[in-house]
């Protein structure tokens, strides 16, 4: 099965429970041999999210 997750909210947001849950679900689908892709924007839940935090999140 092909899965595309599309959202204006950043799925790498470490401050968002929804983003953390979404990443877990997408990883589980990928481990089950589904083709999974995420197309997300740059909206974060934390109003004080700094650029260095984004860089650190993307490295994970």
Q: Is the pTM of this model over 0.75?
A: no
The pLDDT value recorded for residue 51 is: 55
Please state, as a whole number, how many other Cβ atoms lie within 10 Å of the Cβ of residue 44.
Answer: 20
**What would the two tokens of residue 16 be?**
């968002």
pLDDT digits (tens, 9 = 90+) for 4-58: 999 888 888 888 899 899 999 999 999 999 999 999 887 666 655 555 555 666 6
3-state class of 12 per DSSP?
A: coil
**What would the two tokens of residue 27 be?**
């990883």
What ranges do the domains of the chain cover?
A: 2-59
How many Å apart are CA 11 and CA 6, to the nearest integer? Answer: 10
């Amino acid at each position: 099965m092909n899965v595309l997750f599309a959202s204006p909210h950043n799925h790498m947001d470490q401050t968002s429970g929804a983003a953390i849950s979404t990443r877990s679900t997408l990883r589980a689908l990928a481990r089950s041999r589904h083709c999974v892709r995420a197309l997300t924007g740059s909206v974060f839940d934390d109003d004080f999210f700094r650029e260095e935090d984004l860089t650190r999140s993307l490295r994970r």
